[in-house]
Structure 1
Amino acid sequence: MSTTAITTRPSSAELGDQERAVLRAVGCGLRDDEIAAALALTEEAVAGALARVLGKLGLRDRAAAIVHAFDCGLVAPGRGPRTPGSASASASAPGSASVPNGATVRTAAAKVRISVLGPLRAQHGGRDLDLGHLRQQAVLAALALHRGRTVSQQELLDGVWGSEPPVTNVVPVHVYRLRKALRLGDCPGSVIEHDRYGYRLVAGATEVDLARMEELVTAAGAAHRAGDLSEAVRLCSRALDLFRGEPLAGLPGPLAELERLRLTERRITVAQRRSEWRLRLGQYAGAIAELMALSGEHPLNEPVAAMLMGALFRGGRQADALAVFDRTRRRLADELGVPPSPVLRRTQRLILRGA
């Protein structure tokens, strides 16, 4: 039986006290001059200690050292470095974060708002955050789309890079940069946490518009079942207002591509449901206007075309309803080379019979 040797990276336990202190401070995002002031060292001593840390741990650069500080637990997400006095500091000042010199800083209570129902965007305190280049944004989008569970590095590689993975393991570096961009207090890492299985958004630290949209759609369904169609329409409208264009517009990778299609179809379904309820309420003009706009955006969507035909007919516009059929039939033939579906033909026959 053959055996395979497994090489593991040295742990921070092999570092001296000064080196561990420097690594903690680096993990908290401090510059060399700030570390020197906090630890009463010269900047040259800090640089030397960091060089020894990189050598002993086999780390490539400062960014890799920061990632290692988080992943090995020297720095806790959102709480800064774990110094001997950090427990008492946290107890005496809830919501604060420790820094190497024992001072505390108040972390912001507001959540980071992440939007995927349009071009990816993250905001904190009403301010747009710089999320870096598109691949890095795609990593954040993957975490937001899987909010509530851990996403493994392999899932991120498959979802963001697909069949062309990067030569080096860049996922931890992207996560580190996102931690800095999304930080709630003075230390990076308060929004994304890491465990042995991968990365996830910290519970309670973020709000994702997709989750809010689904909550509103669920509430609309409950209102419909309770017989309150006006409330159902209102809740659907609020859900649709969260869409800001093409979901995840411009983001690369198989996951973003699939989610663009899924979320676009989800928006169409919710819009159809709202229009159906508006028709039941007798709001023909509003429902027709919505369906016309939706059909204009998705001219090859036959269920939308059929619903628009029915709404026009019920609104006393039989000729316009039949014109929608003819227009859709021509586009299907010209662009896809297919005839109208049975649903569309059945709707046409009902309108011709005046049913």
Structure 2
Amino acid sequence: MPTTATTRRPSATVLGHEEREVLHAVGCGLRDDEIAAALAVSEAAVAGRIARILGKLGLRDRAAAIVHAFDCGLVAPGRGPRPPVAGPVPRSSTGRTAGAKVQISVLGPLRARYDGRSLDLGHLRQQAVLAALALRGGRTVSQQELLDGVWGSEPPFSNVVPVHVYRLRKTLRGGGGPDAVIEHDRCGYRLAPGAAEVDLARMEGLVTEAGTAHRAGDPAEAVRLCSQALDLFRGELLAGLPGPLAELERLRLTERRIAVAQRKLEWQLRLGRHCEAIAELFALSAEHPLNELVAAMLMRALYGSGRQADALAVFDRARRRLAGDLGVPPSRMLRRTFQMVLRGDEAGLGLTGR
């Protein structure tokens, strides 16, 4: 709307440089997340700058800010952004973000995102169907497997699997994702190749790279890659999802996380990074007090940090917990570690860098 002498807004010159950048991007029609990415700031910072812009210019809302960006000449109609502050995300001929994929997370509560936006996956049984497909890594899952894995011994009276798949397809496609995120053939359903990124596959890829780095004689790089893999785990695995499959996968993924953590911590100990490993080992030991390998690694890390008495105390706690919970003595491996700590056998403990 053109301004008059009585309704003229303050000029954009009252804005600081950062605020002018944000107003320019708003005028170009960019969302907060796109502006944040272009300016390398947080979305909260973008929202704060927009609030200050509206206040300084006396504007009601974002739509008024867009009009003002054009009125003051910061954005030229039909010519796109003047300076290369931020540009629209490249999109394909169908209007979808070029190269973008649906991102599915199973290493925690089930989540699906597209282009930075969370997708509503429906009720828990429907979510469990998507989780079953994502956990299979692109392999076909039969309808009977889905019924058994999601409903167990209480299958539904109606043929609901195709209904859930239809709704999931609509949700994933409605989010802007590829048309065929879920494929169907005579054998069952699967995630279409290349249509989705699953954090489980990313995690396993990082662990494989870590093994390669270790075999190449670069344990520090192996530790770094394992740390990245462990960072993909977030919160309770498959939280709230029903069915035998989700229950089994919670156990499997928990064991996988422990195995990756143990591998990383072992390499840290061999590098002599004992103090760095202690905090994580204490947390892992508290979470899994009957895991004797973790207890032995904690003893080695404490001894390597000059804390022999604390290392012996770990053995005593593990011995009492094993006796009280399982009625068994410590394993031969844990007893050997205790003896080596007692004797100060650093070679036997595999410690360096003291």
Q: Hey, what's the Cα distance between the residues in 1 that align with 2:315 and 2:235? A: 27
Could you list the per-position Cα deviations for residues 103-156 of structure 1 after superposition, in whole angstroms to 9, with x for gaps in the alignment?
Answer: xx4234311100111111111111111111111111001100112221110110
Match 1:106 to one of 79, 87, 95: 95
Q: Hey, what's the Cα distance between the residues in 2 that align with 1:174 and 1:156? A: 11
Are 2:291 and 1:301 aligned? yes
Q: Hey, what's the Cα distance between the residues in 2 that align with 1:199 and 1:108? A: 25
Q: Hey, what's the Cα distance between the residues in 2 that align with 1:320 and 1:285? A: 13
What is the Cα deviation at residue 318 of structure 1? Answer: 1.0
1:109-188 matched pairs, under 5 angstroms: 109=98, 110-183=100-173
SS in 1 for 2:165: helix
What is the Cα deviation at residue 315 of structure 1? Answer: 1.9
2:198 partner letter: V
SS in 1 for 2:104: strand
Matched residue count: 254
1:1-355 matched pairs, under 5 angstroms: 96=93, 105-109=94-98, 110-183=100-173, 190-355=180-345
Structure 1, unaligned runs of 5 or more:
1-93, 97-104
Q: Hey, what's the Cα distance between the residues in 2 that align with 1:107 and 1:156? A: 30
What is the Cα deviation at residue 241 of structure 1? Answer: 0.5
Report which stretch shifted further, 136-145 or 343-352.
343-352
Change (3 A) 1:325 1:149: same
What is the Cα deviation at residue 235 of structure 1? Answer: 0.6
2:261 partner letter: A
Q: Hey, what's the Cα distance between the residues in 1 that align with 2:213 and 2:178? A: 42
Query: Contact between 2:152 and 2:243, CA under 8 Å: does it hold in 1?
Result: yes
Could you list the per-position Cα deviations for residues 248-299 of structure 1 after superposition, in whole angstroms to 9, with x for gaps in the alignment?
Answer: 1221111111111111111111111111111122111101122112112211
2:106 partner letter: V
SS in 1 for 2:205: helix
What is the Cα deviation at residue 346 of structure 1? Answer: 1.8
Q: Percent identity?
A: 78
What is the Cα deviation at residue 189 of structure 1? Answer: 5.0
Q: Hey, what's the Cα distance between the residues in 2 that align with 1:304 and 1:238? A: 20
What is the Cα deviation at residue 188 of structure 1? Answer: 8.8
Query: Contact between 2:119 and 2:175, CA under 8 Å: does it hold in 1?
Result: no
Query: Contact between 2:105 and 2:112, CA under 8 Å: does it hold in 1?
Result: yes
What is the Cα deviation at residue 245 of structure 1? Answer: 2.2
SS in 2 for 1:282: coil
Query: Contact between 1:151 and 1:198, CA under 8 Å: does it hold in 2?
Result: yes
SS in 1 for 2:277: helix
What is the Cα deviation at residue 354 of structure 1? Answer: 2.2
Query: Contact between 1:112 and 1:124, CA under 8 Å: does it hold in 2?
Result: yes
What is the Cα deviation at residue 221 of structure 1? Answer: 0.6
What is the Cα deviation at residue 185 of structure 1? Answer: 6.5
Change (3 A) 1:328 1:186: closer
Could you list the per-position Cα deviations for residues 27-69 of structure 1 after superposition, in whole angstroms to 9, with x for gaps in the alignment?
Answer: xxxxxxxxxxxxxxxxxxxxxxxxxxxxxxxxxxxxxxxxxxx
1:343 partner letter: M
Q: Hey, what's the Cα distance between the residues in 2 that align with 1:290 and 1:210? A: 22
Report which stretch shifted further, 112-121 or 312-321.
312-321
Q: Hey, what's the Cα distance between the residues in 1 that align with 2:305 and 2:95? A: 59
TM-score (norm 1): 0.68
Report which stretch shifted further, 170-179 or 332-341.
332-341
Query: Contact between 1:184 and 1:191, CA under 8 Å: does it hold in 2?
Result: no
Q: CA RMSD in A?
A: 1.9
Change (3 A) 1:153 1:273: same
Change (3 A) 1:250 1:332: farther
Q: Hey, what's the Cα distance between the residues in 2 that align with 1:331 and 1:166? A: 44
Query: Contact between 1:117 and 1:247, CA under 8 Å: does it hold in 2?
Result: yes
Q: Hey, what's the Cα distance between the residues in 2 that align with 1:308 and 1:315? A: 11
Query: Contact between 2:295 and 2:318, CA under 8 Å: does it hold in 1?
Result: yes
TM-score (norm 2): 0.68
